[in-house]
A = this chain, B = another copy of it.
Amino acid sequence: MAGADIHHRTEDFRALYSGVLEGLKYFMGTTNDVMVFTSSGTGAMESAISNLFSAGDKALVVCAGKFGERWTEMTRAFGLQVQVLEAPYGDAVTPERVAEALQTDPGIRGVFVQATESSTGVSHDIEAMARAVKGTDALLIVDAITGLGTSHLDIDGWGLDVVIGGSQKAAMIPPGLAFLSLSPKAWERAEPRRSGYFYFDLLKHKKGGEKGESPWTPATSLLLGLAETLRYIRELGRENLIENAQLLAKATREAAVALDLELFAKGIPAAAVTSIRAPNGVSSNDIVKQFKTRFGSIIANGQGSMKGEIFRIAHLGYFDFADLFGVIAELEIILHSLGQKVEFGQGVRRVQQVYVEAAGSQGS
């Protein structure tokens, strides 16, 4: 790792950094400014709050799971007056509720939402929410950490003011870098400067980025990795990356249904992750544990009150059918070992069929 490192105040590094910013714009599909931070996605979420809002500002939080709850907690930590539109775990918040809240209170300055709520596996209808926000004073701030590269988000066409991503999801490198795009409407709100932020200063990062520099020492080794994966995404095509995730998600859902399992997400399911209820009388703890101990496969448990109730299979970035055949075959064995009636191959067969149908339609 040390060998792959380069110093961050050199011409080589400036070229790398500029290339990463351009690659992120391609990946996100936007001409808006893009800034990158050395932090988790939560840091980029914070920058949108601290740079664009003041204590006392009214905010609307769309909350359908653990990451929606993070928006609530964060906006409150910065003293915003927060109204929360909540949906039960597994449901999404409808865009109609957002439109209604904005009509009822035109003083709302920001709407905070997840494109995909990965704790439950649901998607929000960002396009319709953007229509509801358009023409109001509010900014639309979209946590797309698991939404980018897995769902269609037309940042410029729909008018998404802030869109946030992280390095460890569809961008396919380890965690440690976060990035976000800012619309001209959002930049207007970054002036005049507020007090109470420094590390996540958006304007400093924009100005630095224009010179190929990060204002603080950035995570150089991760940027080297990100430059590589962004090059791969450009070769593959952004749309193909998204189609891959969507097809894998579809195959996972159909395999789950073929195995008589219940999908947890209602409405539009996320393509980043599929959440599945553990069968009656079975804890998802045991399913997750057996994936790990028997096969070395990492499947996510539910978070918070969903722990033990659901398990979540991710399918973004490098994840492909070769992985999915294995995961579903493993799932069948695990369900069988936990006393469930399973015909070996019945889930895998469905994944194979989805694959062949899609490959056939591509003429191969």
Enumerate chain B residues within 8 angstroms of A42, measured Cβ to Cβ.
198-199, 216-217
Is B38 a contact partner of A195 (Cβ separation < 8 A)? no
Is B46 a contact partner of A221 (Cβ separation < 8 A)? no
Contact with B along A149-177 (1 / 0, CB 8 A): 00000000000000000101000111110
Give Cα A201 to B76, complex, Å. 14
Is A174 a contact partner of B220 (Cβ separation < 8 A)? yes
Enumerate chain B residues within 8 angstroms of A300, measured Cβ to Cβ.
9
Is A41 a contact partner of B197 (Cβ separation < 8 A)? no
Contact with B along A220-242 (1 / 0, CB 8 A): 11100100000000000000000
Enumerate chain B residues within 8 angstroms of A198, measured Cβ to Cβ.
42, 46, 49, 73-74, 77-78
How far does the Cβ of A325 sit from chain B's closest Cβ, in whole Å? Answer: 21
Residues of A within 8 A of B (CB): 1-2, 4-5, 7-10, 38-43, 46, 49-50, 55, 73-74, 77-79, 166, 168, 172-176, 195-201, 216-222, 225, 292, 298, 300, 318
How far does the Cβ of A193 sit from chain B's closest Cβ, in whole Å? Answer: 9
- Residue of B7, B10, B197, B219 touching A219 (CB-CB under 8 A): B219
Q: Can you report 30 residue pairs joining A to B where beta carbons are below 8 Å apart?
A: A1-B4, A1-B222, A2-B172, A2-B173, A7-B298, A9-B300, A10-B298, A38-B39, A38-B175, A39-B199, A40-B199, A40-B216, A40-B217, A41-B217, A42-B198, A42-B217, A46-B198, A46-B199, A49-B198, A77-B197, A78-B198, A168-B217, A174-B219, A174-B221, A175-B220, A176-B176, A176-B218, A196-B196, A199-B200, A222-B222
